[in-house]
Amino acid sequence: MNKYIVVNQPEKWNFSIENIKVISSQEYLTNPEFSLVKKARIFNLCKDYSYQSKGYYVSLLAEARGHLPIPTVKNIVDLKALKLVRIVSDEFDDIIQQSLKNIKSQDFTLSIYFGQNVAQKYKELSLLFYKHFQVPFLRVKFNHTTKWNIQSIKAISESEIPAEHLESVQQFANQYFAKKRYDFPKLSKSDFDLAILVNTKDPAPPSNSKALKKFIEQAEKMNIYAEIIEPKDLSRLSSFDALFIRQSTEVNNEAYAFARKAQQEGLAIIDYPDAILKCCNKVYMAEALENANIKTPKTLIVHKDNKHLVLAEVGLPCVLKAPDSTFSFGVKKAKTETEYQKIISEMLKESDLIIAQEFCPSDYDWRIGILDNKPFYACKYYMAKGHWQIYNWNAKRKNDQDGDAECLPIDSVPKSVLKMAVKSSRLMGKGLYGIDIKVVNNSPMVIEINDNPNIDYGVEDLYYGDTVYTEILSALKKRLD
Q: 413 near 468, Cβ under 8 Å?
A: no
How far apart, in whole angstroms, are the C-alpha atoms of residue 124 and residue 318? Answer: 54
Give the pLDDT of residue 415: 96
Give the pLDDT of residue 409: 97
Give the pLDDT of residue 365: 93
Residue 422: phi and psi, rounded to 5, are -65, -45
Each residue's pLDDT tens digit in the chain (481 positions)?
788 999 999 988 888 887 789 999 999 999 989 988 988 889 999 988 888 889 999 999 998 898 989 998 888 888 877 666 676 677 788 899 999 999 999 999 999 999 999 998 999 899 888 888 888 999 999 999 999 999 888 888 888 999 999 999 999 888 888 765 554 443 333 346 899 999 998 888 999 999 999 999 999 899 888 999 998 888 788 888 899 999 988 777 789 889 998 998 889 999 899 898 888 888 888 889 999 999 999 989 899 999 999 999 999 999 998 877 655 557 888 999 999 999 999 999 988 988 899 998 888 999 999 999 999 999 999 987 766 666 555 666 766 667 789 999 999 999 999 999 999 999 999 999 999 999 988 999 999 999 999 999 999 999 999 999 999 999 999 998 7
Give the pLDDT of residue 394: 65
Alpha helices in 222-279, H assignment, sequence order:
254-264, 273-279
Give the pLDDT of residue 229: 93
Q: 153 near 79, Cβ under 8 Å?
A: yes
Give the pLDDT of residue 83: 65
Give the pLDDT of residue 334: 92
How far apart, in whole angstroms, are the C-alpha atoms of residue 123 and residue 116? Answer: 6
Residue 174: is it exposed, middle or buried by C-beta count within 10 angstroms (0-12/13-18/19+)? middle
One-letter amino acid at 228 equals I
Give the pLDDT of residue 395: 64
Give the pLDDT of residue 351: 86
Q: 211 near 198, Cβ under 8 Å?
A: no
Whether residue 400 has a cis bond before it, omega within 30° of 0: no
